[in-house]
Structure formats: structure tokens, C-alpha cells
Copies of this chain bind each other. A is one copy, B any other.
Amino acid sequence: MTDLDTLSVNTIRGLCMDAIQKANSGHPGTPMAMAPVAYTLWQRFLRFDPDDPIWPNRDRFVLSEGHASALLWSLLYLTGVRTVDPDYEVLGRPAVTLDDLKSFRQLDSRCPGHPEYRWTSGVETTTGPLGQGVATSVGMAIAGQWLAARFNRDDFTLFDFDVYALAGDGCMMEGVSSEAASLAGHLRLSNLCWIYDSNRVTIEGHTDITFTEDLAARFLAYGWNVTTVADANDLGRISRAFHTFRAETERPTLILVHSHIGYGSPVEDSPKAHGAPFGPEGVRATKRVLGIPPDAGFHVPDGVPDWFARGIGARGAELRTAWEKTFDAYRSAYPDLADELERIQRRELPDGWEAALPTFPADPKGLASRDSSGRVLNAVAKAVPWVLGGSADLTPSTKTRLTFGGAGDFEPDDRSGRNLHFGVREHAAAAVANGMALTKLRPYWSGFLIFSDYAKAAIRLSALMEIPTVHIFTHDSIGVGEDGPTHQPVEQLAGLRATPGLLVFRPADANEVTETWRVVAALRRAPAAVVLSRQALPTFDRDRLGAASGVARGAYVLADADRGEPEVILLATGSEVALALAAHEELTAEGIASRVVSMPCWELFDRQPREYRDQVLPPAVTRRVAVEEGSTLGWDRYVGSAGAIVGMHTFGASAPLKQLLTEFGFTPERVSQVARELVASG
């Protein structure tokens, strides 16, 4: 440990303490403990160029214990990481300034309470909800392996990056990290390194009160390589551990680091060090212990930024520029692949990718939307070679397997495969998909809609990060039938629709499925939930009815009154659109003028100009009936005070679908009766 090493580590600690103290809010415990580990990784190992923080082959660093954000902000500041704009242009200005650090946790600071992807360059993924970072890192490692398999050639190594994640006791207790670790062990992701900050302290006290398992043995059981660092302040041992990781070619590596929360402070090794500033006196006392000038706030000694520039900066610049040179040669040798790679980096799709999207002929019998979606997904994936994904052990049911020639399986012995087997691990599946999306692949994962509950925290992060993860959910209602209420979603649509930025699609027939995918596959800055039926849905006769391209506007008129303003509007999504059409026909036969509006995506409809929205739902027509086999929550917005909702007010039941439709009132007779009563009521 050189003087500059020590000085750098303690500079980081000082900046963290000061930022937290100035904000009077934050978590100093982990930054004080783990500064030497993060420093060693960044300064000596991380292949990351602060001048180009989105260089494709950079190593990824994930701060899974996101509450330690001050540690990351200090590193981004000291290494001078530059800003990337939303169009992936690297700008000259730094991502984090001293002013940002001084306004830690204040509105508009680039140093918010937890690391936020897309808000601060250099943040590889949003973290804070525990376990998410490590689970997401598995997706990045998968993406790294896949990119290597697709793009590397004997004479060109474009991808060999590593993924590091720093995690605490909280991350290790969360179920999602167990799922992800088991999957990573199975997949033998030797490019993945988790660093476990074991400080034996949690918010409620010592880990002895609840977390006494033999964690190293658990990870060995998952098939990981495990190595231990007895002292988080021993840079030599830390370096040896990273070398051990780099030498490992068969397994992911866990580095178990024994650390001291709040190191150097009066509250060292106490839960008090976790989530509150040390106080002005505490900060001064700690600085004295660490040899930091006690009264100089935000002190950066001469030589420290330059030391980082000569370490991570010089190494990163050299590797990145060498990579760019390699890539120039690659472009000459493999122009198509190079073009592909550049599109991936810009989140663009191949020209003409839409050409092969299927259209479906009218068919009263039709097919389940999970089936039509499977066909459309295959067309999309064939046209876009970096679309890949899998299911949480439900592929035969969710119909998400890529079946065309060469699609293959992503397994330890074949890194080019495009079908992943996530296992019965929904939460990890969603987080892993996020990690792949952050690496700019186009991932999807699938499960039953009911199991979106298991993955909600990761789905939320995809929305918060504004990344185009595609969440595919089949078996979307009581249409599940015999499996009963444990498997019949009721409230899940409402929960997903309430999530800001998430586009929730529930297409009504096969052609709406195609139009859904036309929107979803092209998304660059939003995730989507594609919600599909288990049961067959008729394919509508689009010669007679509104065009399915209306999906892009969120809602559209599917069928209308023969002439004039309708007396009543029927609104529906997914499997209930056919029901609304049947009711519409009954009403028409009785001389009641009705309109059917298909509303596959509320969020897109809400974004349309008022003029369009008023065309679809004329304000003057206040008699409206919504039909959806789910919670009624949210529909009032569209049906208004004078409207009615045919929805689910209880859980479902176990029975064949037909019995359930009658039991819960999803019949053309019931829907037309509700409409009739509205019309009659004036």
C-alpha cells in the first residue's frame, strides 16, 4: 500500500463523510468500510475509461448496496467520468462535479440518494432495493458471454468484459440474489464477480440475530468459486482476490470481504454507522483517525486526481483506444457484424425488420394470443439477431421459445444460444433481463401474469431506468380456468398500469398482437408488459372492423354504430373485446347504437392529443361500459361517473373457463344487459 493508495482511499472516505454530513442524510457505514475494496478494484483492475463510460467492452461495476451511493459518487468525481447524453454521445463535461457532491441528495444533483441509471453517467444500473444489483449483474454477465460468442472471431476479441457487483448482507439475504446466484452458478459465468461486504451488522443489530448461515458454503453449493479477504483494509489481499477471480475460467467468483462498518468512526462496527451522518464532531474525529485534515471539507489532496488518471484513467484509455482500433479493422473484415454492433449500441433495429411481421386472416375460432405472440416474437427475433430471452420454466405454456434454425439454447457449452432457461425464478428472470437490456441487447422473459407479483420489484426498476425490457405475461385472467384463484390474476393489471412509464399491452386478437410487437420491439426508452391469453381468441375480420394499427394509439374504434353518434360505448381489452363485439351485435339487432373501443394500452392512449381521445370516446357519450376480467380499479377514468364496469370484484375460482365466464358475468348477455340498462336509464 503506497502513500498514494492510502491517501486516495481516505480521500474517498472524506468526501463520503462530508457529502453525507452536508446533506444531513445518507449512509456512511459502507463507504467507510469498503472504500479500500472499491478503490483497489477501480484503480488497479476495472477496465473502464472515464473518458468514455459507455465503451461497449468496459468492465461493469454494480453497486448493489446502493445506499452506499456516496462511494460511487466519489469515484465518479475523482476519476473524472464524463457525461453521456440520452443519444449516447459522450460530452466533455464531467458526470459528477464537486458541486454535485456538495448537493448530495438535493433536487437535481447528479448525486442522488441511490445510484440512478440514465441520470448519472457511470451508473450501470439503478440500485437501492436490495438484491436487485447483484441479480441484474448476472444479466450483464450473460450479455457479455453472448456478445463474445456472437461478435468475437479468431482474430478479433471484441468482448471479454467482466462484471463486478458489490453487495452487503441485505443483498445476500434477499431471495432474488439466491435465485440469481443459483442461475449464475449453473451457467458457469466466469466473467462475474460478486464482492460480499460482510460486516456482521444490520439495521436491527448484529447479523447473529437472524443471519447465521455459512454463506461461503452456500455459494460453493451453487457452483461458485469462493475466496476470502480477512481485512477490507488490506489492499494486497484484495488484489490477490481479484487476481483469483480473473484466473477462474469455469465459475463465477464470490469474494467474501470481512469489513468494519463505519471504519475509523466513533460508531465503527455498530448499526448506528449504517444510515445516519456521523455528526460534525464524529466526522472530525474520524478524519483525525484517518489522517484527513479535520476542518477542510471535501478535501482532495494534490496528486490524488492525477493518481487516478495514471491508474484507471491511463489503463482505460489505452484499452478503449486499442479496442476502437481493433473495431476499425473488424469493420473492414466483418462489415455486417460491425453494423449490427453499432446498431445495438444506439438501440436501433435492422432496416426492414418489420417486413416479416405476420398478419393473420380473419378466423372466428382464432388462436390464443400467447400463440400468436409466439409466432410474432419468432418473426421479430429472426429479423433482430440480438433479441433473446426465455421463461421462468414455462416456455411450453408461454410459447416464447425461439424455434427457427440456429436459435439454440444459451447454456455453458453454447454461449450463442438465444433461448435462456431461467428456471422457476421469476424475480431473477426479470432482473437478469434488465441486466441484458442495460447491455443493450433486446431481452424478454415470460411467465404467467399471476407471477408478475414475484418479479414486481425488478419490473419497477425497468420502468424507473427507462430501459426496453419486455415482460411477457400469459394466462392473463380467469381464462386460466381449472388452475383456480391461485393462478388467476385479478389485481395484477392495475398494479402494472399504476407503474409510471411501463407500457402495458393487452391485445385483443392476433393482429393486435402483431401491432403490439411493432411498438414493443422498437421501444428504446421504456419497458413493456405484454399480457396474453391462455385461451383462443377469434381473429377479427379487419375488412369489417377498425384496423389493428390503432394499437399504436393505445385505443381505437373497432366497431361502430351504423350511423350517427352511438348511444353507448363498450370498452374492453384482450379477451373481452370479442365479448364486447358480441354484445354490440346483440344491441345492434335491438336497434341500440353502440360502439366498441379496443383499449390495448391505456398509457399510449393517455398520451394522444385530446382531439383523438375525444374522437374515440366522445365526451357527449357518457353511457359507457368497460369489460375486463380483472379488478375494476382504474376503469372509472374512461367510463366516467355515468358508466358501468363489468370486472372482477373477488378472486376467481377453479373450474372450466366456460363455467367461470357465466359465474363471473362475462357473457354477451350480461354485457349487453348492462349497456341496455344504461341506455334505458336515460
A45 in contact (CB, < 8 A): no
Residues on the B chain within 8 Å of A127, using CB? 486
Q: Is the CB of B186 within 8 A of A487?
A: no
Residues 150-175 of chain A, each 1 if its beta carbon lies under 8 Å from chain B, else 0 = 00000000000000000001110111
Which residue of B has the minimal Cβ distance to A202?
B393
- A114-B424 contact given A649-B500, A660-B107, CB 8 Å threshold: no
Residues on the B chain within 8 Å of A461, using CB? 486
Query: Which one of B221, B394, B633, B663 lies within 8 Å of A217 (CB-CB)?
Result: B221
Q: Is the CB of B112 within 8 A of A484?
A: yes
Give the distance in Å from the alpha carbon of A483 to the alpha carbon of B25 in the complex.
Answer: 9
Q: Is the CB of B173 within 8 A of A175?
A: no
Residues 633-666 of chain A, each 1 if its beta carbon lies under 8 Å from chain B, else 0 = 1101100111000001111011110011001000
Q: Is the CB of A659 within 8 A of B129?
A: no
A213 in contact (CB, < 8 A): yes
Q: Is the CB of B485 within 8 A of A116?
A: yes
Cβ < 8 Å to B, chain A residues 99-136: 105-109, 112-114, 116, 126-130
- A213-B484 contact given A106-B659, A174-B454, A394-B203, CB 8 Å threshold: no
A574 in contact (CB, < 8 A): no
Q: Is the CB of B182 within 8 A of A179?
A: no
Give the distance in Å from the alpha carbon of A66 to the alpha carbon of B108 in the complex.
Answer: 49
Q: Is the CB of B395 within 8 A of A204?
A: yes
A335 in contact (CB, < 8 A): no
A681 in contact (CB, < 8 A): no
Among A32-40, A192-200, A321-329, A491-499, the stretch that binds chain B is A491-499
Residues on the B chain within 8 Å of A205, using CB? 421
Q: Is the CB of A484 within 8 A of B178?
A: no
Give the distance in Å from the alpha carbon of A630 to the alpha carbon of B395 in the complex.
Answer: 35
Q: Is the CB of B654 within 8 A of A112?
A: yes
Residues on the B chain within 8 Å of A653, using CB? 107, 112
Residues on the B chain within 8 Å of A491, using CB? 460, 495, 498-500
Which residue of B has the minimal Cβ distance to A114?
B486
Residues on the B chain within 8 Å of A497, using CB? 494, 633
- A129-B215 contact given A495-B495, A655-B107, CB 8 Å threshold: no
Residues 471-509 of chain A, each 1 if its beta carbon lies under 8 Å from chain B, else 0 = 000000000011111110011001101111100000000
Residues on the B chain within 8 Å of A633, using CB? 494, 497-498, 633-634, 637
- A425-B174 contact given A114-B483, A114-B486, A486-B127, CB 8 Å threshold: yes
Give the distance in Å from the alpha carbon of A460 to the alpha carbon of B486 in the complex.
Answer: 9
Cβ < 8 Å to B, chain A residues 407-433: 409, 411, 421-428
Which residue of B has the minimal Cβ distance to A484?
B113
Query: Which one of B423, B457, B636 lies within 8 Å of A454 (CB-CB)?
Result: B457
A212 in contact (CB, < 8 A): yes
Q: Is the CB of A186 within 8 A of B212?
A: yes
Residues on the B chain within 8 Å of A670, using CB? none
Give me the 6 closest cross-chain CB pairs, A-B, nearest first: A175-B175, A495-B495, A128-B486, A112-B654, A491-B498, A178-B178
Known: A456-B456, A490-B498, A491-B500. 6 other contacts (CB 8 A): A67-B483, A175-B178, A209-B411, A217-B220, A454-B456, A636-B636
| A/B interface sample: 29 pairs, CB < 8 A | A66-B486, A105-B482, A106-B655, A113-B654, A128-B487, A129-B486, A169-B424, A170-B393, A173-B179, A173-B423, A174-B179, A175-B175, A202-B423, A202-B424, A203-B395, A209-B411, A210-B393, A213-B221, A213-B222, A213-B223, A216-B221, A217-B218, A217-B220, A218-B221, A451-B457, A491-B500, A494-B634, A634-B634, A634-B636
Q: Chain A residues in contact with chain B, CB under 8 A?
A: 23, 25-26, 66-67, 105-109, 112-114, 116, 126-130, 169-171, 173-179, 182-183, 185-186, 202-205, 209-218, 220-223, 271, 391, 393-397, 409, 411, 421-428, 450-451, 453-454, 456-457, 460-461, 463-464, 481-487, 490-491, 494-495, 497-501, 622, 631, 633-634, 636-637, 640-642, 648-651, 653-656, 659-660, 663
